[in-house]
Amino acid sequence: MTLSSKRRSPGSRYRDKLRIVPTFRLAGWLAAGAPAAGLAYAANPELGLLAMIAWNGTLAAFSAADLWSLPAASAVRARRDAPGKVDLGRPFETTLAVAIDGARLPKRGSLLDDLPDAFDTEAGTTPRELAFDGADATVRYDVLPRERGRYALRSVFVRLRGALGLWERQAHVPCESEVRVLPDLSGVRGMLASLQRTLVLDGKRVYRRASAGTELQGIRDYTPDDDPRAINWSATARALQTKVNVFQPERGKIVTLLIDCGRMMGVELEAQTKLDRSLEAALTLAAVALQRGDQVAALAFSGRLSTYVPPGKGLAHLQTLIDAVYDLKSDTAESNYALALAHLARVQKKRSLIVLFTDMENVLFETELVPYLIRLRRTHPVLLLCLQDPVLREWSRIGVTRLKDAYVKSAAYKFMEDRRAFAARMAALGIEALDVPANELALAAVNSYLELKSRDAL
């Protein structure tokens, strides 16, 4: 029975259930004695036999001394220092400290962290050298998380080298900690940290129309561009200077985020899944809405209801939303829009902006979705956000040199026309449907929200 190449890798060898491991130095000394013993045996068999016994006996004595210098496996302790929360796709530093109890202290060793498969493979398969300063040794390295979720880091594998370097003792040491990999929240933090009147997201200016609404924000001096109907005559009489009322959109409106976690949302798109991109955009939109005094609710679904977060306000509610959705995974089942929208109709009685993050391919072939959206539109404004398929876009622009290219281009163009036709049909029904590139999804969501809010359409 042969072992796979992965099983033979350095990382997999550390996971073998061995307690004592010979080193390459011991193998080298054993190999070095063979030619000398062979030559001595050729000259004189008795002398050759004595030479072999003497050589192997000496190595056995040195091996015994080397094994005696090794600390017991139970004397090895490890402690991991890693952040509890990290962003998807952002490397983070991990520090592992190894300590030895007892008088037998090694000088050198190596360590392999038992990382989940969702982290980068190099950190989980490459042993790290340990240099002991007395009873302690520390190693630091970067880890790159590739999937969202909650991960328990339970143990490390440590190998301690004897004083002569002939043998190593391997220990499987408990070292428990937990890392939660969140969606990439760099856009959210940039949005919240921005003090500009005009927001900037990913280097692009976010739409913001002049303030309008019915809630009085303050009184200021009149300018020629102001609406004369906004003049505050009482304040004008007191100040002997024309004053106008400044209104802002009403605060406390509700924004409900519907996040599709069905089969198609697990498709990889530009090194991330569609669900990853949708979560990042949804949380960015939630941060903006909460910052502007609105309430935000969230409902995630696939073939079943995954999670529901009731409406809440204040930036503290953003953490509640993150905790509820950060470990969502795409399901193998098809999305059940009827189940999700029926549940939303039961729990969301007040008027709310419904923002649905989904896949356009599901929408095109889902016969039950459109009637539900039309019914929701009677009470709630609805925004449909989908990610463009870059492959279709590339195929629709390829040059035609063969008959096969013509078929591919025409099929891709047909699919893109179907998507545009669906968006136009939704617009005619009063439902805005956007089919945008992955890197513009958050921007499109925030812009649409701000535009609706400026028109008091929430």
pLDDT in tens, 212-260: 555 666 787 888 777 788 788 888 888 888 888 876 656 678 999 999 9
- Which pLDDT does position 299 carry in this prediction? 95
Closest CA to 274 of 420, 438, 422: 438
- Which pLDDT does position 33 carry in this prediction? 75
Q: What pairs with residue 87 in β-bridges?
A: 182
pLDDT tens digits, residue range 9-57? 555 566 666 688 888 888 888 887 777 777 776 777 777 778 778 887 8
List CB contacts of 60: < 8 A, sequence separation 6 or more.
none
| pLDDT of 208 strictly over 50 | no
DSSP summary character for residue 302: S
Which of the two residues, 232 and 301, has the higher pLDDT score?
301
- Which pLDDT does position 18 carry in this prediction? 66
pLDDT tens digits, residue range 433-453? 888 888 888 888 888 898 888
**Residues of the chain above pLDDT 70, percent:** 86
Contact 108/25 with Cβ under 8 angstroms?
no
Range with the poorest average pLDDT among 45-59, 263-277, 279-293, 376-390: 45-59
pLDDT level of residue 309 (50, 70, 90 thresholds): very high
**Residue 372 half-sphere exposure, CB side, CA atoms within 13 Å?**
18
| pLDDT of 277 strictly over 60 | yes
| pLDDT of 163 strictly over 80 | yes
Closest CA to 175 of 102, 100, 96, 109: 96
What is the spatial distance between Cα 182 and Cα 83, in angstroms, rounded to a whole number? 12
Q: Give CA angle at 271 (413, 257), nearest 5°.
A: 80
Residues 275, 278, 280, 282, Cα dihedral to 10°: -130
* Helix, strand or coil, per DSSP, at residue 225: coil
What is the spatial distance between Cα 72 and Cα 112, in angstroms, rounded to a whole number? 18
What is the spatial distance between Cα 297 and Cα 202, in angstroms, rounded to a whole number? 25
pLDDT level of residue 191 (50, 70, 90 thresholds): low
pLDDT tens digits, residue range 114-125? 888 888 766 667
Contact 446/199 with Cβ under 8 angstroms?
yes
Backbone angles phi, psi at 197, to 5 degrees: -70, -35
Average pLDDT over residues 360-375: 77
Averaged pLDDT of the chain? 81
- Which pLDDT does position 7 carry in this prediction? 39
**Residue 381 half-sphere exposure, CB side, CA atoms within 13 Å?**
15
Output b/e per residue, 266-292; b: 16+ Cβ within 10 A.
beebeebbbbbbbbbbbbbbbbbbbee
**Residues of the chain above pLDDT 90, percent:** 15
* Helix, strand or coil, per DSSP, at residue 312: strand
Handedness of CA 337, 340, 345, 351 (dihedral sign): negative
pLDDT tens digits, residue range 317-330? 999 999 999 989 88
Average pLDDT over residues 136-153: 89
Backbone angles phi, psi at 181, to 5 degrees: -95, 110
| pLDDT of 200 strictly over 90 | no
DSSP summary character for residue 6: T
Q: What is the pTM of this model?
A: 0.73
For 114-242, where are the E strands, in sequence order? 128-131, 136-143, 149-161, 167-182, 200-201, 204-205, 215-221
| pLDDT of 351 strictly over 80 | yes
